[in-house]
Amino acid sequence: MHRFRFRPGGGAAIPRVMMLGADVTHPTNLPEQARIQHKIATHIITRCISQAGNSSEVNPNRPRPDKNSVAAVVGSIDAHCMRYAARVMAQEPLQENVVGMKEAVLSLLKEYYNNHLGALPDTILMFR
């Protein structure tokens, strides 16, 4: 639900909204990709059954591709959510958590701030 600020003299001000999105992509089409994906699925299922914990952490004993995964965070920087800036980071292979999320979001907030004459968003919507 949007909350509108009313300007002196009448009329509602449009709320400042920033939209963020984040995703991680992993190496594909590697020679042993099918075998690795099967081992990862087996590992995750076994881990979920055997113990509670964070199933997305990197296990150094699990086979991994030699290419990095790529994480990206994008954020709107204009009043109409039509212009976006991006932060892209390489990270350990097959790691689903976005390493550097805090730094990326802070950087995008600074860019939003600079594009809005020193104003921060009233609302931030994050899509992951």
Place of tokens 């860019």: 111
Task: State the Rg of the chain over Cα.
Answer: 20
- Count of residues for the chain? 128
CATH for the 13-127 domain, from 3.40.50.2300, 3.30.70.20, 3.20.20.80, 3.30.420.10: 3.30.420.10
For the chain, the structural domain boundaries read 13-127
More confident residue, 94 or 111: 111
- DSSP code of residue 32: T
Q: What is the structure's pLDDT at 57?
A: 52
Structure confidence by residue, pLDDT tens digits, 38-73: 566 566 666 555 544 444 455 555 555 678 889 999
3-state SS assignment for residue 102: helix
Tens-place pLDDT, residues 14-41: 789 999 999 998 887 655 555 666 566 5
**On the CB side of 103, how many CA atoms lie within 13 Å of its CA?**
8
Give the pairing type, strands 69-76 and 84-91.
Answer: antiparallel
How many CA atoms, within 13 angstroms, populate the side-chain half-sphere of residue 70? 8
